[in-house]
Structure 1
């Protein structure tokens, strides 16, 4: 049996929809099948439409969060002094 494998965005690994209408239909179908409410948005990297579980306007990345250095999750980790 052959299954359809959707094309994915190289930057976000999300399924690419060519227009907003098909993305809306996929979101509605997800709600019918799984009861999960999804929203659509246009990707800034590929220009196609994707689905997200975040409500529009609920997540705004602040500039301070983007500039923080990534820290190790290792227990007892002490960063080196420079």
Structure 2
């Protein structure tokens, strides 16, 4: 994943889009290999120094997995 690249940047209104793009890129193999039928990825700036990332993985068998990072910004810069 290229999410680590965000460590070098400031948290701006453009950062959530970069986080979404990097997460989508990192997880694309799941759809390509048939592990998931679909991925929903959302990143939101939740404060002046926090960024949330939510990933929903839809499997072909109907199972749905939600993964939520309440403050991925702190994880990246902690």
How does the TM-score come out when normalised to structure 1?
0.33
Write 1 or 2 for the structure with the bigger share of strand: 2
TM-score (norm 2): 0.34
Q: Which has the larger radius of gyration?
A: 1
